[in-house]
Amino acid sequence: MPGRNIIEEGKHVLVRLPSEAVKVILLKGDSYISLGKFGTFSVTGVLGYKYGQSFEILENKLVRPVYSLIDDTKPLLPEDSNTFSENNQNLINTGSLVQKLSTQDIEELKKQGKGEDIINQIIAGHDSFGKKTQYSQEKYLKRKQEKFLRRFTIEYLGGSEMLQYYRSKDPQRVLDMSSESMGLILSYANIRPGGNYIVVDDTGGVLLYAMLERMENKGSILVAHENEHPNLIALKYSNYPQELLEKMVSNVNWLQFLEADTQRPQWKDYPQEKIDSFTPSRRSHYLRKKRASERVNHILDTVEQGSFDGLIYASTIYPSTLISKILDTVGGSRPVVIYSPFKEILSETFHVLQNDHRILAPSIYETRVRQYQTIIGRIHPLMTAKGGGGYVLHATRVIPKEGGVTAVGRGIKSKRLKVIDPKADTRQLLKQ
Amino acid sequence: MSFLHYKDIIEEGDLVMAFISRNDIKPVIAKSGATLNTRYGVFPHDLMIGARYGEQIASAKGYGFIHLLQPTPELWTLSLPHRTQIVYTFDSSYVVQRLRVLPGSRVIEAGTGSGSFSHAFARTIHSNGRLFSYEFHRPRYEEAKGEFEIHKLDNITLTHRDVCTNGFKVDGVDVDGDAVFLDLPAPWEAIKHLDEVVAKDRRVSICCFSPCIEQVVKTIEALTANKWNGIEMVEVSGRKWEAHREMVRDVDEAVARLKDIKKRAAAGLARKRKLNKISDEVDNEDADIQPDEDNDISSEEPSGKSETEPNLKSDQKSNQDTKDRGYNPFGKGKRIREGDPAYKWINVTRSEPEVKSHTSYLTFAYRNQ
């Protein structure tokens, strides 16, 4: 897969820092990227490495490749090299007095060089470091690493990374969607090359971007939206060429979608002589309008055909009232996947769908990933994690039998009698 | 290739997932003349051939129905014959997302097991990707091989092999894997063999799937020793919710009902005393006890609804339903359908009665060498 392997100039990438913060940056050749307190590096230094490579910032904005950002598997301090306490009995909180180095000293050190040296000096300047327990020393060191290690990792900006970036900035912007919920949506929606999907995306295009990644340039997506133009802000970081996006992604607003009869652009070609007589700017304006109306009509045609390969819904518009209006556009045996940060909203929708014969077996799923510390001998779940993550409703669009069909179950006998012999009921009543 | 491509009309030889109920989904190869027998009736395959995927069909007798669904890896996971413990969608969807498995990916999977995850991998890597799957158990290998052929999953290379002793190399093929999934009892024995088959020109990601923490420890040690970095271990907990309605049972109505019961009891007592009095008067003229009028506190109406509501609700047939229970705001003694508009309801969600509280630990790592 070209483009996803090697760090190249001109691409948007994800930068991961020891503090677990993430950034999206554009790798412009001959430019410098500032990572705030972690330092500044020259873009040329990272080009040509594989995605996933970690670097350390040296003097003069140069970098050197390092094995990893932080090694999470072994204790940071070798077992026998340090003094430590069995417990914290003798550890007394003296506030800032415990550190011999002043803030100014540390600032000075930061200007000079390597993060490891700073950390070593801070430890040397720490009066009661030896009075901490081994576990406490580890935690202290890890905090200092997150702060002073001038390291970073460059990762390919895929769907998960884009989601992580936006979620860390402001969870609401991606409807608090977790990466595991996104994975579940993409699996249940059966996203694959060649599909023709309809998506309602209030994550600013993050979900759309993740879908495109699973389609590998094949198929199409119709974005239905509530404003005059769709908000697909995340696509500005995508490394897809504009032509490809235009080819695969089209959009329609709810007015056009739900009232297609009255919203179709009526287009009549002018006679060729008249077009020939236009000034060049008038002609290009005319052709642009013609193309636009053709495009809208084409989109409305596909809506009317009603054969989308899946409906993917992650919107703040109340799904309970909207979904039934768009169900007819989804093909038989195709998935309907609705995401919401709130289980209550999906519960309402569930009830609506349960009474709709075009829908089979709705279920609400909740998926949560719990991360563990991986230091051997000290494996336990992390003490804190992100809350939220959202819920996913999945159902299948089906085609009910015309005229209905009697279910087998309670009351089948009397229902059958009703169907087979209209007098049966009276006879039964007379018997009673 | 229906796991990889969409199709609208069912043809002879197509795989159909017959949805009988949530817990009963039967994979069927449509074959003219054959029938599918279910507890909801008999369904001749000829009713399926020519039908649209997604269609609801009635049984030969005209009542009882099933839905004809298109196969997907997720449906297959629910219906497949279990040969081993399988990887469910909560785990598989996360692993696919985390390992960045995409169209064109070259995935290494060991062991194949029941082939549940193989289907999900095959769907996502699609026609231009390749799944190298390894199974050391001969009968399981044979069954999976047959299944992949019937399902036309020709992007899977299945090998009968114990990867822990014999590694992952496939004759005449450069495996060049960029994502690895190890669902083995001892993944640490297989990790050292990965060097010769993983891609050199790009980052490779791995997920080891083990139920026990002791396995995780050994896995982490092996990954570190073999130059895998960025190790992370997680656990996925998935839960399925059903939406229901729970009756809103207001305490004011309970109080009103209690008052009604009390009033009716007092009325009943008075009636009984009156009857007793009459019989006493006949038997013994000395006893003459008057009912205490002051004690009858329920002379006021408990609620405006009490007279009309029970009648409105009691138009049901069964004997117990028609028994007069007085003011009956919660339909006591009646068979009430969830959501009956005669009562007040609140929407609630309920978890499955039994949940998979632990499947396995997922240990992820990367290799940049």
Q: Could you report the per-residue pLDDT of B81-117, keeping only the tens digit for each?
A: 888 889 999 999 999 999 999 999 999 999 999 999 9
Whether residue B89 and residue A192 make contact (CB cut-off 8 A), yes or no, is no
Whether residue A331 and residue B6 make contact (CB cut-off 8 A), yes or no, is yes
SS3 string, B252-281, reads HHHHHHHHHHHHHHHHHHHHHHHHHHHHHH
pLDDT confidence of residue B319? 52
**Strand pairing category for B130-135 and B156-160:** parallel
Are B233 and B249 in a shared domain?
A: no
Residue type, B346: I
Place of tokens 């190399």: B169
Q: Is A66 on the interface with B (CB under 8 A)?
A: no
Q: Residue B348 pLDDT more than 80?
A: yes
Cβ neighbours of residue A389 under 8 Å, at least 6 residues apart?
A: A176, A177, A178, A180, A181, A366, A367, A368
Residue type, A58: L
Chain B residue with Cα closest to A348 = B347
pLDDT confidence of residue A278? 86
pLDDT confidence of residue B283? 66
* Number of CB pairs, chain A paired with chain B, less than 8 A apart: 241
pLDDT confidence of residue A71? 62
pLDDT confidence of residue A423? 36
Confidence of residue A427 (pLDDT cuts 50, 70, 90): very low
When the pLDDT of each residue in chain B is averaged and rounded to a whole number, the result is 89
Confidence of residue B276 (pLDDT cuts 50, 70, 90): confident
- State the CATH number of the domain containing residue B153: 3.40.50.150
Q: Min CA distance, A243 vs chain B (Å)?
A: 20
Q: Min CA distance, A25 vs chain B (Å)?
A: 20
Q: Is A71 on the interface with B (CB under 8 A)?
A: yes
> What percentage of chain A exceeds 90 in pLDDT?
58
Cβ neighbours of residue A212 under 8 Å, at least 6 residues apart?
A: A221, A238, A240, A248, A249
Chain B residue with Cα closest to A188 = B74
Residue B143, in any domain of the structure = yes
A366, HSE (Cβ side, Cα atoms, 13 Å): 21
Are B195 and B274 in a shared domain?
A: no
Core vs surface per residue B293-324: b (16+ CB within 10 A) or e: eeeeebeeebbeebeebbeebeeeeeeebeee
**Closest to B182 in 3D by CA, of B159, B216, B206, B213:** B206
Domains of chain B: total: 3
Is B195 a known ligand-binding residue?
no
Whether residue A408 and residue B213 make contact (CB cut-off 8 A), yes or no, is no
State the best of B47, B67, B237, B319 to mutate against chain A, taking most chain A CBs within 10 Å.
Answer: B67
Cβ neighbours of residue B285 under 8 Å, at least 6 residues apart?
A: none
Helix, strand and coil percent figures for chain A, each rounded to 5: 40, 20, 40
Minimum-distance CB partner of B232 among A183, A365, A371: A371
Q: What 8-state DSSP symbol labels residue A127?
A: T
pLDDT confidence of residue B369? 73
CA distances from A171 to A18, A176, A185, A232, A386 (A): 21, 5, 18, 16, 10
Is B321 a known ligand-binding residue?
no
Tokens encoding A222:
């119709």
Minimum-distance CB partner of B203 among A52, A69, A309: A52
Q: Is A408 on the interface with B (CB under 8 A)?
A: yes
Determine the Cα–Cα distance for residues B320 and B324; give it in Å rounded to an integer: 9
Q: Is A233 helix (H, G, I), strand (E, B) or coil?
A: helix
Determine the Cα–Cα distance for residues A414 and A420; give it in Å rounded to an integer: 10
Residues B218, B233 contacting (CB under 8 angstroms): no
Give the helix ranges, DSSP H, for A200-318.
206-215, 242-248, 254-258, 260-263, 272-276, 280-305
Are B217 and B343 in a shared domain?
A: no
**Strand pairing category for B106-110 and B130-135:** parallel
Q: Residue A13 pLDDT more than 70?
A: yes
Residue B65, in any domain of the structure = yes
- Last residue of one domain, picked from the residues B25, B54, B71: B71
Q: Residue B296 pLDDT more than 50?
A: no
Whether residue B94 and residue A346 make contact (CB cut-off 8 A), yes or no, is no
Residue B65: list chain A partners with CB under 8 A: 401, 405, 407
Residues B157, B132 contacting (CB under 8 angstroms): yes
Whether residue A405 and residue B63 make contact (CB cut-off 8 A), yes or no, is yes
**Cross-strand bridge partners of residue B365:** B206
Whether residue A183 and residue B52 make contact (CB cut-off 8 A), yes or no, is no
- pLDDT (tens digit, 9 = 90+) per residue, B263-274? 999 998 899 898
Domain A159-397: CATH superfamily is: Vaccinia Virus protein VP39 (3.40.50.150)
Which of A184-188, A413-417, B76-80 is the most confident on average? A184-188
Q: Is A382 on the interface with B (CB under 8 A)?
A: no
Q: Which domain holds residue B51?
A: 15-71
Q: Min CA distance, B302 vs chain A (Å)?
A: 34
Are B82 and B200 in a shared domain?
A: yes
**Rounded mean pLDDT, B161-174:** 96
**Cross-strand bridge partners of residue A396:** A335, A360
Residue B77: list chain A partners with CB under 8 A: none
Chain A residue with Cα closest to B129 = A1
State the best of B8, B23, B37, B72 to mutate against chain A, taking most chain A CBs within 10 Å.
Answer: B72
**Rounded mean pLDDT, B168-192:** 97
Are B183 and B211 in a shared domain?
A: yes
Are B181 and B228 in a shared domain?
A: yes
Residue B98, in any domain of the structure = yes
Q: Is A352 on the interface with B (CB under 8 A)?
A: no
- pLDDT (tens digit, 9 = 90+) per residue, A26-36? 999 889 999 98
For B100, counting Cβ atoms within 10 Å of its Cβ (0-12 exposed, 13-18 middle, 19+ buried), the class is buried
pLDDT confidence of residue A431? 33
Place of tokens 């579940």: A184
Give the helix ranges, DSSP H, for chain B.
45-48, 73-79, 89-98, 116-125, 138-150, 163-166, 187-191, 213-225, 251-283, 309-313, 319-322
pLDDT confidence of residue A135? 78
Are B236 and B272 in a shared domain?
A: no
Minimum-distance CB partner of A366 among B41, B73, B241: B241
Residue B153, in any domain of the structure = yes
Is B252 a known ligand-binding residue?
no
- pLDDT (tens digit, 9 = 90+) per residue, A240-297? 999 999 999 999 999 999 998 888 888 888 888 888 888 889 889 988 999 889 989 9
**Rounded mean pLDDT, B53-62:** 93
- State the CATH number of the domain containing residue B40: 3.10.330.20
Q: Residue A429 pLDDT more than 60?
A: no
Q: Please report, for chain A, the start and end positions of each structural domain, with discontinuous segments joined by +.
A: 95-145, 159-397
Whether residue A6 and residue B202 make contact (CB cut-off 8 A), yes or no, is yes
Q: Which helix (H) or strand (E) holds A250?
A: strand A249-253
Q: Residue B314 pLDDT more than 50?
A: no
ipTM: 0.87
pLDDT confidence of residue A27? 96
pLDDT confidence of residue A145? 77
Longest dimension (CA), chain B: 116
Determine the Cα–Cα distance for residues A125 and A103; give it in Å rounded to an integer: 12
Q: Is A103 helix (H, G, I), strand (E, B) or coil?
A: helix
Q: Residue B5 pLDDT more than 90?
A: yes
Residue A381: list chain B partners with CB under 8 A: 235
Confidence of residue B28 (pLDDT cuts 50, 70, 90): very high
Residues A401, B56 contacting (CB under 8 angstroms): yes
**Cross-strand bridge partners of residue B244:** B348
Q: Min CA distance, A282 vs chain B (Å)?
A: 44
Are B89 and B127 in a shared domain?
A: yes
Are B26 and B174 in a shared domain?
A: no
- Lowest average pLDDT, out of A257-271, A350-364, B165-179, goes to A257-271
